[in-house]
Copies of this chain bind each other. A is one copy, B any other.
Amino acid sequence: MSKGRVTVIDIAHAAGVSKSTVSLVLQGSSLVNEATRAKVNAVIRDLGYVYNRSAANLRQAKSKIIGIVVNDLTNSFFAELAVGVDVVVQSAGYVQFLSNTGENIDRQREVVASMREHGISGLIVSPARGTEAGDLKPLVNSGIPVVVVVRNIPGAKVSSLVSDNHAGSAAAVEHLVSLGHRRIAFLGGFPDTAVFAERIDGYRQAMQRAGLDADGDLVVGSAPSRAGGVAAIERAMLIATRPTAALCFNDAVAFGVCDGLRTLKLEPGRDFAVVGFDDVIEAQTAVPALTTVSVDPQGMGRRAAQLLLKQINAGKVEAETLVSSVRLVVRQSCGAGLGDVGRRITA
């Protein structure tokens, strides 16, 4: 915003019409004569007029901006997500505020507040770890549509878009079965979360369909972390009839499982098949990557944005939960029908 900014009144003056007429051509209204419209447009070009959206927004009490906050833009999963959002947001004529929280919940609170002050008309958030329903409360109470992606936040009355955990688990199991595995473990995760319930359910059903035993010792819960993965595989290997493969609650657990296997002098992929779950992509390059149940981050971003725009246009906000389909990404098969492991490929 420069000093000598030219305004509607200037161009109205120069074109010999009134401001409202100018306003009308600005909005592409058909209520204005073709001749005057041309005249006005010409003057607009000549004077180098730029539309002031702040003023318009103030007047209309609505903005054409949506906010997106992600927990870790450094992680290419979320960068892709942001790109997906950007694509549909841009083509809908919106611009996006983007903020990175770096898993810092205070920062998240700040940026959300800031965005609110700026009058965003909607928010897409991939919440930082530990986000609670209360953190989004003020936003949703003021009627601003919010879409939570990737991680759902229990108790919040907002729309969310998460991956198809059930189908993902099932696909992983079917894959392992097709490789000849019969003792397939499910490792990691806390049983008291919705995500866990969905994943374990998909696992159980697929096992059952394959005529395999899914109960008992094959399911070993743990913290959904790398350390948890180590603990889980150690426990699982104490079973009399050891598993030969494992579906892990998420990638972090999978990496821990690999760590644990190596401690046991077993090579992941050769001696034991490990499948990860793309909930949290962690340290992609620091460990040998594996076959995973993957989601399409950019597609998720697009879908989230579409959902948000729908709600913005609808005026009415109804919490809605969408499920994003997943696909099994097999990295590299290493013979012997015993699992697979390979290099991670960035989508």
Q: Which residues of A contact B (CB under 8 A)?
A: 1-3, 5, 48, 50-55, 57-58, 61-63, 65, 73-74, 76, 79-80, 82-83, 86-87, 90, 95-100, 102, 107, 110-111, 114-119, 121, 138, 141-144, 283-286, 289, 298, 343-346
Contact = CB atoms under 8 A, between A and B. Distances in A.
B50 A58 contact: no
Contacts of A51: 117
A121 B73 contact: no
A275 to B, nearest CB: 18
B90 A79 contact: no
Contact of A95 (B52, B99, B285): B99
Contacts of A285: 284-285, 289, 343-346
A58 B55 contact: yes
A75 to B, nearest CB: 8
Number of copies: 2
Nearest to A298: B74
A5 B111 contact: no
A53 B3 contact: no
Nearest to A67: B95
Contacts of A2: 142-144
Contact of A86 (B58, B63, B73): B73
Nearest to A110: B90
12 contacts: A3-B61, A52-B58, A54-B58, A54-B118, A65-B97, A73-B79, A74-B298, A76-B79, A83-B102, A90-B99, A96-B99, A285-B346
A116 to B, nearest CB: 6
Contacts of A98: 82, 86, 96-98
A144 B3 CA distance: 11
Contacts of A99: 86, 90, 95-96
A179 to B, nearest CB: 24
B90 A107 contact: yes
Contacts of A3: 61, 143
B57 A54 contact: yes
A305 to B, nearest CB: 13
Nearest to A94: B114
Nearest to A118: B53
A286 B86 CA distance: 25
Nearest to A93: B114
Contacts of A343: 285-286
Given A74-B298, A286-B346, 14 more contacts: A5-B61, A48-B141, A53-B117, A53-B118, A54-B58, A54-B118, A55-B58, A82-B100, A86-B99, A90-B107, A96-B98, A97-B97, A98-B98, A284-B285
